[in-house]
Each structure stands twice: as C-alpha cells, then as structure tokens.
A and B are shown apart, each in its own frame.
Chain A
Amino acid sequence: MTDPARDIVVMESIDKSFPGVQALKQVSLTLAGGEIHALVGENGAGKSTLIKVLTGVERPDGGTITLDGAEVSIRSPLHAQSLGISTVYQEVNLCPNLTVAENLLIGRQPMKLGHVDWNAMNRQAREILQGLDIEIDVTRPLGSYSIAIQQMAAIARALVISSAKVLVLDEPTSSLTGHETDQLFRVMRKLKGEGIAILFITHFLDQVYEVSDRVTILRNGALVGVYETAVLPRLTLITLMLGRSLTELDDINQHKIESSQHIGTEPLLQADGVGLVGSIAPFDLVLHTGEVVGLAGLLGSGRTEMAQLLFGIDQPTEGSLTMDGKRVRNFSPIGSIERGVALCPEDRKAEGIVADLTVRENIIMAMQASRGWFRHLSTSDQYAIADKYIKLLSIATPSADQPVRNLSGGNQQKVILARWLATNPRLLILDEPTRGIDVGTKADIQKLVLSLAEEGKSCIFISSELEEVLRTSHRVVVMRDRAKVTEFAGEVDERAIMNAIAGGEA
C-alpha cells in the first residue's frame, strides 16, 4: 500500500509561522498515488496551513517538498495547478454571479472562431457534473444553488484539470448531506482507482474510517504520526488528536437527563401558525425556559428559515409570536436581541464573521449593537469580554487583536458563538454551530448548551447530524419540505425520526 516508489508527494520538515503563531513545526506528509489520505487534528492544528503550503498559497519558512521524486518550490496556486495539484479550499471560492458552466470552465472555455462556444461549454459542464451524478441547469448562476451544490461545483472544477495527480480537499463534506457525501466518496474512490493521490481533511471521524487508507494526525502544529486507518482504533485516534481522551460524551447524556428536571412550565416563546409565504409553512412551536429543542431535517427542509423567522431576519406573513406572554411586533435582529434572543447563523462566511475586524471586535459586536451607538463599551471592557470567551471556548488565537480572517475555520465559528453568548441571551438559536468544529470542542459546545439550559436558558439546536441533535435536545422537531412535520419528546426512537426526516410514511 505504501510502496515508497509510488509516493507522489513528500513534504518534509515543513515549518511555517505567522506573527505570534507557529502554525507548523517540522511537519512531514507523504501522499502515495492511488491512496486516500486523511488529515485530522483539532481546530487550529495547522491542517489548512499545511495544504496551503502544498498548493502554493503560503510559502514555507523551512522544509522541502518533493513531487514525483524531484524537489520543487511551489510559487503560487497557479504553479501548483500546473504541477498537477488541484485543490478545493475550506471556503467555496467561486463566483456566485457566473453560471455553473462558467465557473467550471473559466480559463479553459471551448472557443469557436475566436469566440466562446457557449453551447459546447454548457455541454462540457453538464458532462463533467454528470460524472459526479449531478443533474442541474448549468446555465443558472452558481449562487442560486445550495452551498452543497456549490461545493460539488468547486470539486468538479478542481477535477477539470485533466492532468491532476494530486487532489486536495479541505473539509469538503462539512456542508454536504449524507447522500451528497456518498456521491463525493464514490467520485473519490474512482479517482483513487485512476492512481490519483487524494488528501482529505475532515472533522467527521466516521468518514475517515469509511474512505481513507491512511491518516496523518496533527496536534498544535506538530506531527503526531501517520497510521493505517484500518488498524487504528477510533478511541486511540481521538486521544492522539486531542492529547487527552474524550470521556465527555457519556457525561453529556447524564447532564441532559439532569437538566430535563429543570424545564419550566411557562412557555418562554410561543409561535401560533407563524409562517412566511414562499419560505416556510405556518407552524406552531412552544419553548419553555431551560429547554433545548432540536431541529432535525435535511438540508433545505426549512430549519434555517424557521430560525430566521424567529430571530426577525424575515417578517412572518401570518400567525403570531409571543415571548413572555407578550406579542412580538418588532421583527428585526435588534428587536430580538433586546428580547434576549440570539441567532448564531448557518453561513459563517456571509452572515457570521466580519473578516477584517479583530477577534475582540467580532465578539463584542452584537453586545455593542444592543447598547446602541453611544453607550460605548470601553476598550478595557472589550478586552475583558473577549478574553473571557477566548478562554471559555478555547479559541486558538495569538491575541484578541488578531483579525478574525487569520483564524482557522473552526475557531472563526467559535468567535461567532462567543459573540452571541456575550449578549447573555435567554433564547439561543444555534444553526449548525458545530460545523467545521473538531470532536473535542463539539463535545464542549454540546455540554455548554446543556449548562445554559440548566441556568434556565432555552436553546434551539439545529444540526445536520442527527446524533448530535439527539444527544443535546430534550425535544426534537422534525422539518421536511419547508414545513414542520412532527415532534418527538422524551425517549426518542432514532429510527422513527429518520423516517420522519426522509418522509417515509411509516
């Protein structure tokens, strides 16, 4: 399997530091042709940085990269591409205004008589996507499709490069559904069969075991080791990644049972037939103090729409919403914040982070918004708040003054969570709060949610991972086709929920 003769990429003793952070210390990585190689580690461990070094986005401070036996110095992403290294980055990097076909083929459009041959281009794009089992209208703008489809388009684009010897995927599955992930894995296995080396970053350990041959583990910017996936026990993998064993999961269940004793009897929030034409069908929902309600459903089932309605991003066209027994009239984010409602949005890049602002400014933003323009938080208060949450959520950053853009994906997610915890909400709506978060922190966040519930706060927990929803929620609401279909309370039967999600009328 790891015959050194077939090693395509050998990275040796790579060092890379940013001001205040040593992101990589003497890290080595080998990729063999025809293997799927997983790269795992906590948030901020240096995974994305390592692949940025491989793909020419960042230049290493030290170390060597050998490609097909010859030492290379990779100057730029374009240069990496010409060497046969294609990449799909953590954040989708395509142009939402261009059509799908243009996004796939830009730079290598088929030409006819000096003009772009649009028909040929659309046909080619359709064929490429069909290779991935995706049937969509390639002449529509990419932005009109879901993040999942956009992600698949980014992968397709990386594959278009015919001479690809190495395919690098940075958390490609974080916003894909189970079915889409299966599609992707099928494509990955096909490419592996063709002798391509695939490097695959993920926080889903199931996927590591499902698809990878070997796994490289990073911790704190250093190499822990390389292992054959098949013979590495899962608990060992977690311990190697985190540097500690993960016992919290059992605690969480206990925690949940205990916290369910404290659920209040008076409703905190009550929705009666609240709906928005064209977005979500009217639904009823009651939420008590100290209660965690999970929203389960497929991508596009209306979970996010419900969250946005409850937070006042959108105004309902029918029904009534009451909080503390008073009818809600001011549907706006600021109105919600004043009522004590917070929403940690799903789309981190567009709706969450303000990339150029510092960690501190990002954390205090919502709190400052609720205080208005003139009751300014003093700088020392701002640092106190930021430092508190950096510690509480173990956000990996050299200081509170780091622009949030420089944080690793998972740590950016934690900053958004901190922004909302800082407003001290009574109802916290979390839309995919653990996307891109490592297993250790994921458990921490789940615990945090339950502790908040014990303090009498309520939470709506949205996640595509049913397991996580079940672990944290006292009650589960199932959404399908932009409508609430049913609710499960008490001891929940996982199979019944899966059926409800999929729409199988059992």
Chain B
Amino acid sequence: MSALRSVFSRSRLRESRLSVPILALAVILLFDFVFVPGFFNLEIRDGHLFGSLVDILRNSTPTVALAIGMTLVIATGGVDLSVGAIMAIAASVACILIDPRIVGLNLQGDITAVVGDPTYSFVPIPIVIVASLAVAVVCGLWNGVLVSFGRIQPMVATLILMIAGRGIAQLITNSIKIIIFNDSFAFIGNGFIVLPFSLFIVVALFAGAWLLTRRTAIGLFVESVGISFRASLYSGINEKRIKLFAYAFCGFCAGVAALIAVSSIRTSDANQIGLYTELDAILAVVIGGTVLGAGGRFSLLGSLIGALVIQATQTSMYAIGVAASAITAVKAVMVIVVILLYSQQVQDLGRRIAGRLARRQAAA
C-alpha cells in the first residue's frame, strides 16, 4: 500500500518518476521468472558471461545510447525522429572507410564472394570511429539548426533527415552492402571483456552524459528552456545554443549506437540499420519519466531503465514464442500503459484510492 501511495504522491514526483520504470522492469522480470524456465541462469564460458540477462543488456546497448541523447532533446521540448536514419548514415561512413574497394567495382549479385582479410582496413580504425561520430554530430547539428534558428517544429524538422537519411546512406556506399571483416572493428559490438564490450561503451557514454549535464549548467539550462523558453531567454540563457547542443549530442549518441550496431552485424545495410529505433528511443525516454512534448525535468537514469524495459520485454516475448510482428503490438500497449501511469487524472485517482484504503485500514 505504501508503495502505491509513494507512486502517486505528488510531492515525491521526482522519485516517483523513477519508480514507474523500476516497477515496469520488475514486472517483466517477474513474468520471466514465472514463465521462462532458466531465464536467470548465468554461466561462464571461455571467460565470458552468458545468459538471457546478459543478452538483454547487450542487445539494449544501441537503444540505451539513443535514449541518452533523446532524453536531452525531449527535455528541451523537442523530439528527434531522425536518429535511426543518422545511424544508417554513420554506419555507411564507417563501412566505406574500412573497405571502399568493392564500391568502385559496382559488383552485382553475391558480394560475399569478396573474402576479406580480418586485419584489413582502408583507414586506421580510430579514424573510422572518429569520422563516423563526426558525421553523426553534423547530422545532429543540421537538425539543431533547423529547430533553433529555423524555428521549425522539431517533429517536422527531424522528419526531413528521417526520410532523406537512408537515401544518403545508400549513396555513400553506392547501394552496396559492405561486409566488414576487420576484427578489431567488430570487437566494438561483438567483443567480450567478461561482459560484452558494448556495455562498457554505453556505461561510459552514460557517465559522460551525466557529468556533462549535472556537473555543468547544461542540465539546468536544458530543463529551463524546455519548461519556459521565454523565461530562460529573459534570464540570459542562450536558448538557441542549448537546443543546438541537445540535437548535436543526440546525433553523437546515434553515432555511438551505429558503431555498436554495424560492428555487431558486420554489414552496412542502409535499409535495416537502426530501423524504427527512433521509436524505441522515444518510448524509453517516456517510460523513464521525461515528458514528451512538454519537456522540462529529465532523468537519464530513467531513460536507461526505460531502454532496458523495452529490451527485456522484447527478449521475453521471443522467449515465450511470440512472433516478431506481434511485438509491435506489445509495444503499443506499453505506450498506452505508460501514458496512463503518468497522467494526472490516473495519479489523482490512485492517490484517492490509496487514501481511502489507508483510512479503511486505520478504521479497522
């Protein structure tokens, strides 16, 4: 009962924001505990940790990376629909830099015929990484310029790149799926240091984002711009620069997600990489308690847990044999539940019910 009341207590809104994603995660894990035998089994093979839980963590890394960037954008009162497309662009850039040979050949048909050397890379891998991230940041800046200086609705502004982005990604690789044979690049998404290497990347990204927003004034300014950009303007906050930063950072995060994704599937597939991930990222942020459309207070930790909730749901559905196509429907239900959980009316109702129950208990 007291748990119920703390969820619905308005004064503890900030904590209660975290309690929704934590509660959601607990519900899903409980479901797995009951219905999926062996779900919590962990074993160490060749010095690597294996198990469903590790899979969930590992598969969620691109979404977590996207959700971190998306959190800032949503907190400024915007949204970025183009992160999936930015991923495709950054992935294409990475692949073309690693192996530009076959593009010129314009091969038709079976490209797997070109067998690669696991050490070959056209440019050194660090440069590949920096270049892809830089391109992703440029994409984010483009969105930011449209939103802050062009005063275009964020939804519309980022829709442009969402639609054009995959075309650009195709152009970069001349519509060819480049296969990556380079092992050190593949380590990003496939490597293990006891735990999957991509986990370390995402944890570092999270820590960096947290420090950047909470140990500087950026977090405060982002929230303030999201809540009232006029009051922020009057207080001397450069609202345009803050928005520009948020979109650029979101682009950077999409770049990180792209590197993880493309190195784990080892193919530049502009039509598949990051497809629909913008929706997962937005959903993760919303589950995490940052308000879509209104902006303001944000919680990076909430978004992180939100991303885990989505991945855990997806993995559990697969585990009990739900078809991939039906998972979209499950996500739709999640959206509805989350929106209801955060709505003022439902919270008021919950508080009233909790109060009545408490009174009845006291009377008894």
A residues lining the B interface (CB < 8 Å):
18-19, 313, 333-334, 336-337, 343, 345, 350-357, 361, 365-366, 368-377, 419
Contact = CB atoms under 8 A, between A and B. Distances in A.
B138 to A, nearest CB: 21
Interface in B198-240: 215-218, 220-221, 223-224, 227-228, 230-238
B231 A352 contact: yes
19 contacts: A19-B11, A333-B234, A333-B235, A350-B231, A353-B231, A354-B223, A354-B232, A355-B227, A356-B297, A357-B223, A365-B232, A366-B236, A368-B220, A369-B235, A369-B236, A369-B238, A374-B217, A375-B217, A376-B215
Contacts of A357: 220, 223-224, 227
Q: Which 9 A-B pairs have the closest CB atoms?
A: A369-B236, A19-B11, A334-B236, A333-B236, A337-B236, A366-B235, A365-B235, A368-B217, A351-B234
B296 interface: yes
Contacts of B236: 333-334, 336-337, 366, 369-370
A356 B230 contact: no
B231 A374 contact: no
Given A351-B231, A354-B228, A373 B216 contact: yes
Nearest to A352: B231
Contacts of B235: 333, 365-366, 369, 419
Contact of A374 (B216, B237, B297): B216
Contacts of B217: 368-369, 371-377
A368 B234 CA distance: 13
Nearest to A334: B236
A368 B223 CA distance: 14
A498 to B, nearest CB: 31
Contacts of B234: 313, 333, 343, 345, 351-352
A333 B233 contact: yes
A355 B228 CA distance: 8
Contacts of B221: 368-369, 373
Most buried by A among B218, B228, B232, B234: B234
Given A333-B236, A376-B215, 10 more contacts: A334-B237, A336-B236, A351-B231, A352-B234, A354-B224, A366-B235, A368-B217, A369-B238, A370-B236, A374-B216
B224 A350 contact: no
Chain B contact-residue range equals 20 to 34
B165 to A, nearest CB: 29
Contact of A376 (B216, B223, B230, B231): B216
Nearest to B231: A354
Nearest to B348: A76
A164 to B, nearest CB: 26
B220 A356 contact: no
Interface string B283-310: 0000000000000110000000000000
B114 to A, nearest CB: 48
A334 B296 CA distance: 22
Contacts of A377: 217
Contacts of B11: 18-19
Nearest to B297: A356
A374 B297 CA distance: 20
A25 to B, nearest CB: 19
A365 B217 CA distance: 9
Contacts of A313: 233-234
A351 B297 contact: no
A483 to B, nearest CB: 24
Nearest to A312: B236
A464 B221 CA distance: 33
A365 B238 CA distance: 12
Contacts of B220: 357, 361, 365, 368
Contact of B237 (A352, A365, A376): A365
B237 A369 contact: yes
A336 B221 CA distance: 18
B238 A334 contact: yes
A369 B221 CA distance: 8
B347 to A, nearest CB: 15
Contacts of B228: 350, 353-355
A366 B236 CA distance: 6
Contact of B230 (A334, A337, A351, A361): A351
A333 B234 CA distance: 6
Contacts of B232: 354, 365
A356 B223 contact: yes
Interface in B1-16: 11
Given A352-B234, A356-B297, A365 B224 contact: yes
Most buried by A among B223, B228, B235: B235
A450 B284 CA distance: 53
Contacts of A370: 236
B231 A373 contact: no
A143 to B, nearest CB: 13
A376 B351 CA distance: 38
A354 B227 contact: yes
Interface string B107-126: 00000000000000000000
Nearest to A350: B230
A311 to B, nearest CB: 8
A312 to B, nearest CB: 10
Nearest to B295: A356
Most buried by A among B216, B236, B237: B236
A360 to B, nearest CB: 10
Contacts of A351: 230-231, 234
Interface string B10-50: 01000000000000000000000000000000000000000
A19 B9 CA distance: 10
A355 B218 CA distance: 18
Contacts of B216: 373-374, 376
Interface in B224-279: 224, 227-228, 230-238
Nearest to A19: B11
A79 to B, nearest CB: 14
A355 B297 CA distance: 11
Contacts of A18: 11
Most buried by B among A18, A365, A371: A365
A432 to B, nearest CB: 14
A345 B230 CA distance: 11
Nearest to A336: B236
Most buried by A among B215, B221, B237, B297: B237
A380 to B, nearest CB: 14
Contacts of B231: 350-354
A354 B234 CA distance: 11
Nearest to B225: A354
A355 B227 CA distance: 7
A377 B216 CA distance: 8
Contacts of B224: 354, 357, 361, 365
Most buried by B among A352, A368, A372: A368
A376 B238 CA distance: 16
Nearest to B9: A19
A39 to B, nearest CB: 26
Contacts of A356: 223, 227, 296-297
Contacts of A372: 217
A9 B173 CA distance: 77
A276 B237 CA distance: 23
Most buried by B among A313, A356, A370: A356
A145 to B, nearest CB: 18
Contacts of A345: 234
A124 to B, nearest CB: 31
